[in-house]
Copies of this chain bind each other. A is one copy, B any other.
């Protein structure tokens, strides 16, 4: 099943309509897979392609896609949010260069070996790390 059909199904299955703006945004995301885009990026690229979509709609659609698990929202150290397609079972994390802000992705298959191997594998000198575990605390588990 094509990627776009798959996403389409998720939408329809959740009782949302497949509208033109949503399809256009989806296309931009697929065309730029692997990049980290802001809402504004997407809005601009659509305008450049001669298929403008209102900024409010872009934000609403990105939020919806996050809820449906189509997208991940990423917060780095700056003010804006970045979005990327959620590749199933390809959970990955980020190396962030403090000097140039380059972002390098890495998988989490070998959590215990990370600290040691990252430097070698990516030539990245780790000086700090931030880990957030998300889930449900003892008060909220059903």
Q: Which A residues form the contact surface with B (CB < 8 A)?
A: 75-77, 93-100, 102, 104, 108, 111-112, 114-115, 118, 122-141
Contact = CB atoms under 8 A, between A and B. Distances in A.
Given A123-B138, A135-B124, A130 B100 contact: no
B75 A134 contact: no
A96 B122 CA distance: 29
A137 B124 contact: yes
A131 to B, nearest CB: 4
Nearest to A77: B75
Contacts of A112: 111-112
Contacts of A108: 129, 131
Given A75-B75, A111-B111, A141 B129 contact: no
Nearest to A104: B137
A98 B130 contact: no
A136 B96 contact: no
Contacts of A139: 97, 100, 102
A136 B76 CA distance: 15
